Each structure stands twice: as C-alpha cells, then as structure tokens.
Amino acid sequence: MDQNRRLFLGAMGGLALGSTLTGTGIAFAKDNPPAAAAEAKPQRFAQMGGDFSWKYQKLDPAESAMVAYEGYWHKGYGCGYGVYYGIVGMLAEKFGAPYNTFPFSIFEMFKGGMSDWGTICGALAGASAAIFTFFPRKQANPMVSELFRWYEKTAFPIFDPKEAANPKGFKGALPTSVSNSVLCHISVSRWAYTTKLGANSKERSERCGRITADVCMKAIEILNAKLDAGMDWKGALPKQESVVQCGACHGKGKMTDTLKGNMGCDSCHSGSEATMDKFHDHPKM
C-alpha cells in the first residue's frame, strides 16, 4: 500500500512539474517571439562590434621596434609575429581589451615568407595584417603601398639592438643591401649574395630580426600619421619607375591585359641573363 502511495505521489509531482514547465514555456514564447529569437542567433560573416571596430591608438615607434625584435625571437615565431605583436600586442599591453583577445601566435605562418615558401616578406605581411585590423581596404591600401615601396628601396637592416641582441643572433654591425623586392626569397638571397654571408647563417637570422623591428617602426610611423591626418592622409612615395613604364602597355585596358599588382617589375624582369635564361649552362644535378 505504501509503495502504491509513493508511486501515486511521484506521478502527481511529475504532472505538477510538467505543468509548471509548460507554463514557463508559454510565458517565454510570449516574451520572446520567434522573430526575436532568430535575431539573437549569430549571423554569417558578422563580427563582434562590426567590421573594423577595433580602433588604432598611437604608439611609440622606437619602443615597439624593440618589442618587435624580441617577438621575432620569441619561440622562433619569426618576423610576421614580431611585427604584428609590436603593433597590436603593444596596444594589448597598454589598453587591454579588445586587443588582448587576439591569438597572436597565428602569425607564425608568415615566417620564412609564409611557411618557408619565400613569398611575401613576413614582416610586411604582419604589418599589413595590423593595418587591416583597423582600416578598410580603401584606406589601408595606400598605407600598405607606402610601406612596401619604402621596403623595396631601403638598405636593410637599420635597427641595431646593440647589447640587447638575442643570444641566438649576432651582436654588432651587419652589412646591408637593397632588395628591390618585397619577396622574402629575393630580399634574403640578394643580401646573402651581396654580403657573402649564408642565407642560413646566424647573421642572416639576426638581419631578419632587425628588419622585423625596422618594418614595425615604419608601419607605426605610417599609422600615427594616418591617425593625425585622417581621410586626408596620402603616401609620399610615388609608383616605382618600372611599374609606370610596364604599366603603359600592360594591364587593364592596355595593349595586353597581363599585369596585375604594384610590385617593382625589375626584380624578376630585369632583362639580365639570370632572369631571362635561368638555367643556361647550369650544373646538372
């Protein structure tokens, strides 16, 4: 008898609980109609705060340059990581959220010109990513162009950590070279050829660590100038002569639509034997 009574009371309790939940469900539906619930769902391509909602704030180029250099050596993450951390990471250190929510280690992919493929210099890629973190394409593209044109014609490295040089690198003055290219492969190879120092030497690793600082500093100078001038900001460096000359015939609406891009043409199309006949009389493997 007692067992039956317990079963009866349990069934009644379950019925009461079901009624309570049903009532709650009805109330929820009234307060939150299906349309409102649908609006609360994440939308495809939506970004918290909206596109380009993170705002750049001025940084000290010299301070960030040293941080970028240290970032280059941090766990071997390399140049792209170092530059991006030297900009956005410094904002995170100084101002906290939202900058400190970024997974900075993602930019290890830029090391060695994108996973050691020798394509775009990772320092430039990290700087470009930082610029596009804050500005949409129409504003960012001129800043990237200014940075890239400066890189093509500058003798690197400039930065010298002096006594703060990383133990894995090299302490002291390093020879310089002008890459005439934004590609890692050409930048490193031309430096190695000019200086007679190996592309896998400690000096070359140090050279790239210092270029990480150089690019970070220049990118911050551009960002700071953009912040001051706003929509009136314009780059100071003109198109490369080779781009102007080649663009007279090649490109959209021209004699041949075979040109797209702003990279200096002469790094690959110089007309020299090395670029026109790459394998002539080359030793057989």
Residue 32 has pLDDT above 70, yes or no: no
Q: What is the pLDDT of residue 14?
A: 45
Q: What is the pLDDT of residue 272?
A: 67
Q: What is the pLDDT of residue 6?
A: 46
**Location of structure tokens 């280059």:** 72
Q: What is the pLDDT of residue 10?
A: 47
* Region 15-39 average pLDDT: 47
Q: What is the pLDDT of residue 254?
A: 85
* Region 92-98 average pLDDT: 97
Residue 185 has pLDDT above 50, yes or no: yes
Written as one string, the DSSP assignment of 29-71 is HHHS-HHHHHHTSPPTT--TT-TT-S------HHHHHHHHHHH
| Phi, psi dihedral angles at 178 (to 5 degrees) | -100, 125
* Region 25-37 average pLDDT: 49
Residue 5 has pLDDT above 50, yes or no: no
Can you tell me the distance from the alpha carbon of 162 to that of 166, in angstroms, rounded to the nearest whole number?
10
Q: What is the pLDDT of residue 73?
A: 98
pLDDT category of residue 207 using cuts at 50, 70 and 90: very high
Q: What pTM value is reported for the model? A: 0.80
pLDDT category of residue 31 using cuts at 50, 70 and 90: low
Query: By percentage, how much of the chain surpasses pLDDT 90?
Result: 67
Q: What is the pLDDT of residues 96-146, one digit of tens each?
A: 999 999 999 999 999 999 999 999 999 999 999 999 999 999 999 999 999
Q: What is the pLDDT of residues 225-268, one digit of tens each?
A: 999 999 999 998 877 877 777 878 887 888 888 777 788 777 77
Q: How many CB atoms are closer than 10 A to CB 17? A: 10
Mapped onto helix, strand or coil, the DSSP state of residue 250 is strand
Q: What is the pLDDT of residue 265?
A: 77
Q: Kindly list the distances between the CA atom of residue 223 and the CA atoms of 133, 230, 253, 274, in Å, as whole numbers in the listed order.
A: 12, 10, 33, 38
Q: What is the pLDDT of residues 33-49, one digit of tens each?
A: 555 555 667 899 998 89
